[in-house]
Amino acid sequence: MTTESTSAPNFIRNQVREEIEAGSVDTVVTRFPPEPNGFLHIGHAKSICLNFGIAEQFGGGCNLRFDDTNPAKEEQAYIDAIKADVEWLGFQWAGNVRYASDYFDQLYAWAQHLIREDKAYVDDLSAEEIREYRGTLTEPGRPSPYRDRPVAENLDLLERMRTGEFAEGGKVLRAKIDMASPNINLRDPVLYRIRHASHHQTGDKWKIYPSYDFAHGQSDAIEGVTHSLCTLEFEDHRPLYDWFLENLPVPSRPRQIEFARLNLNYTVTSKRKLKLLVDKGIVDGWDDPRMPTISGMRRRGYTASSIRKFCDMIGVTRAEGGMVDIAMLYHAIRSDLEDNAPRAMCVLKPLKVVLTNVAEDHDEVFEVPGHPARDDMGVRKLPLSREIWIDADDFMEEPPKKFFRLAPGKEVRLRNAYVIRCDEVVKNASGDIEELRCSVDFDTLGKNPEGRKVKGVIHWVSAAHAVPVEVRLYDNLFQVEAPDRDRDVDFLEHLNEQSLSVVQGYGEPSLAEIKPEDRFQFERVGYFCADRHAAAEGKRVFNRTVGLKDTWAKIQKKG
């Protein structure tokens, strides 16, 4: 795979380089640790590019480890989708896929170890009581009445928790650290909860499941992870991460380093909220092209390299609360497709034009480049016949001054073909325009008309040769920049009701045979991608990836 788009310097990469140069780190091992409770989104892409990118840059490895400690919310389908997404993004994990559940036996033994060292105990307080006893930022916590249970009793109770003797919520195992610590995470955090749930990897073997905190760092240590990169909300968990490593006989000493999570405007990046959109049927599944999921973006027409490029552009810092402009993401895909997508003409709002001086049996084919700057994309054939489709928006009966497209008595160039003049507007009984009757100036192919300037160029498709296409025009799913910022307003209130419109158009013959995910620039319109599901069923459906106008590049120029 190409590495050039995943190697922009950042503070973590710099730190790793220094450590390697100083000899304190030998081989870099990172990991990407998704919880399989939903599909990956663009925020995860940032983490993936960082973790896999660093391993790649320094010749190490990146593990894919499912953080599967909460069986109630996890599913095999999510595991499969996550693996597919990581691979599609262009990354390969080191060795086999790993699961935190691979280490359940070891974690359990380590829990027993902590008990024996008088550093853990079984607590009978309810979740609510534990919260109450925990204190606040300004008040220290109070010790649980069960805090001083003897070692043997703790070992016995933990074993009975494991085999399912107690009800969910009846008991937990907690670390015995410091109920007065200024860091609330150190006030006897929960290590194990009872869950009578079947697990996608371990079946019914376990009735207790480790907490994220107890599983994560130890899994890192077992795998020999050197740098455990996570988002800033875990910064306050780092002392706990380190406490476990210091108090357990772990085989290695990973280090946690935090970075700021990606927030993208007009978007939500929380699996819980994305799942709600799916469950409520607001979108057409996790890979709906409006979803900020990797699979949704893929279906929309994003390339893997454009997503990697975007992750490079946004960088990695510790600055919290920043919001990335979605225009930057659009810029990343647009510039990729500008260079790599073949051109085609497609009329989305068809208006019939009869070329009155073109014979019924006119048979002319223009050969035009597949891409203006890419000879390797060959040529495409554009037939012309007496009737063509143009876009209704390219005609105005009463045009304003600067309208350089078609109007009664006015001329316009058909892209790659002749200049035509509109001689007549034909309407039906209710006054709607039915067709235009235009005449061709045959002396204008590849040259300007004699004695006058024609500024406008419009796209068109020969009606006799046109292929019908369905085009899905996507817009942002939310109307406001930060749909989930306001705690008092449901983010669903901010849905953009116009996020999808479907039109039936006509494409040039080169669109007749398409494969899933074929991408095109529809000239003058935007970038489009053959919907992978529809195309697999032989249907011609295009998803609009992004329009042509680059607001991000404009902002950059001004800035």
The residues assigned a catalytic role are 35, 261, 271
Instruction: Give 483's contacts (C-beta < 8 A, 6+ positions apart).
Output: 266, 267, 268, 491, 494
CB 43, min distance to ligand ATP, A = 2
What is the Cα–Cα distance from 365 to 199, expressed in whole angstroms? Answer: 63
Choose among Mg ion, ligand ATP, none what residue 102 binds, the Cβ cut-off being 5 to 8 Å by kind.
Answer: none
What is the Cα–Cα distance from 64 to 159, expressed in whole angstroms? Answer: 30
Choose among ligand ATP, Mg ion, none what residue 176 binds, the Cβ cut-off being 5 to 8 Å by kind.
Answer: none
Choose among Mg ion, ligand ATP, none what residue 231 binds, the Cβ cut-off being 5 to 8 Å by kind.
Answer: ligand ATP
Task: Select the residue whose beta carbon is closest to ligand ATP and give its number.
Answer: 43
CB 33, min distance to Mg ion, A = 9
- Residue reference for tokens 């993208």: 264
Q: Which is nearer to ligand ATP, 56 or 531 (CB)?
A: 56
Kindly write out the interface string for residues 11-40 of this chain, putting x where it contacts Mg ion by CB under 5 A and - elsewhere: ------------------------x-----
| CB-count burial class (<10 Å; 0-12, 13-18, 19+) for 411 | buried
User: Given the rule CB under 6 A, which residues bind ligand ATP?
Assistant: 33-35, 43-44, 46-47, 67, 230-231, 261-262, 269-271
> Pairing between strand 387-391 and 350-355?
antiparallel
**Cα angle value 290/82/521 (rounded, 5°):** 40
Q: Which is nearer to ligand ATP, 43 or 526 (CB)?
A: 43
46 is in an annotated binding site: yes
216 is in an annotated binding site: no
What is the Cα–Cα distance from 177 to 144, expressed in whole angstroms? Answer: 12
CB 93, min distance to Mg ion, A = 19
What is the Cα–Cα distance from 290 to 302, expressed in whole angstroms? Answer: 12
CB 35, min distance to Mg ion, A = 5
What is the Cα–Cα distance from 553 to 41, expressed in whole angstroms? Answer: 24
CB 190, min distance to ligand ATP, A = 18
**Cα angle value 551/284/472 (rounded, 5°):** 45
Q: Which is nearer to ligand ATP, 142 or 261 (CB)?
A: 261
Distances from the Cα of 421 to the Cα of 272, 390, 397, 399, angstroms:
56, 13, 13, 15
Distances from the Cα of 132 to the Cα of 126, 171, 315, angstroms:
10, 16, 40
212 is in an annotated binding site: yes
Provide the Cα torsion 86, 87, 93, 95; round to 10°: 130
CA torsion sign, 395 to 399 to 400 to 402? positive
Q: Which is nearer to ligand ATP, 274 or 469 (CB)?
A: 274
Q: Which is nearer to ligand ATP, 320 or 517 (CB)?
A: 320
CB 478, min distance to Mg ion, A = 22
Choose among ligand ATP, Mg ion, none what residue 346 binds, the Cβ cut-off being 5 to 8 Å by kind.
Answer: none
- Residue reference for tokens 């930057």: 328
Choose among ligand ATP, Mg ion, none what residue 261 binds, the Cβ cut-off being 5 to 8 Å by kind.
Answer: ligand ATP
Binding site per annotation, positions for L-glutamine: 67, 212
Binding site per annotation, positions: 35-37, 41-47, 67, 212, 231, 261-262
Please give the residue ranges that form the binding site for Mg ion (CB under 5 A). Answer: 35
Binding site per annotation, positions for ATP: 35-37, 41-47, 231, 261-262
